[in-house]
Structure 1
Amino acid sequence: MKFGRAGGRDGPHGDKYSPALLHLAAELHEIPFGAGAKRVFTVIKIDDRRDREVHLGDKVQSVEERLRSEG
């Protein structure tokens, strides 16, 4: 699976909330319990924008432009 850092569809490209990705998160969540942990806190963040088309890297470009205009 490919992952991005910024922009709308940062998960596996073309898969909306990939079941494989969610399954992987569940498996990773279980690892500390197997090592004896009594409590595990797992956070999954899904940032889904549907009001306009957003492409991988758009946010990075936007921040870079703002930094150039401020400097």
Structure 2
Amino acid sequence: MKNFIESVVRTPGMLFMSMLITGFTINAGVQYINATGFEGPNLLAAGCLLVGQFIVAVVHQMRRFGQNNTLILQ
């Protein structure tokens, strides 16, 4: 399980997407505190990035599993 978590964390783009999610969430909080009414697009962007991050992790794990698989199809 530890190797799986380390593999997901080291997936290319995962750290950058996490930083963007944090930025959009903080910006949404600031917009909410200032009562500007523009927190929705920031939360939508953060949600889309979260879904994208999950998809990237799944695809990367599938590729990694496919490369480690030694099954020879005939």
Q: Which structure is higher in helix share?
A: 2
Per the TM superposition, whether the score is higher than 0.5 is no
Higher RCO (CA < 8 A, seq sep 6+): 1
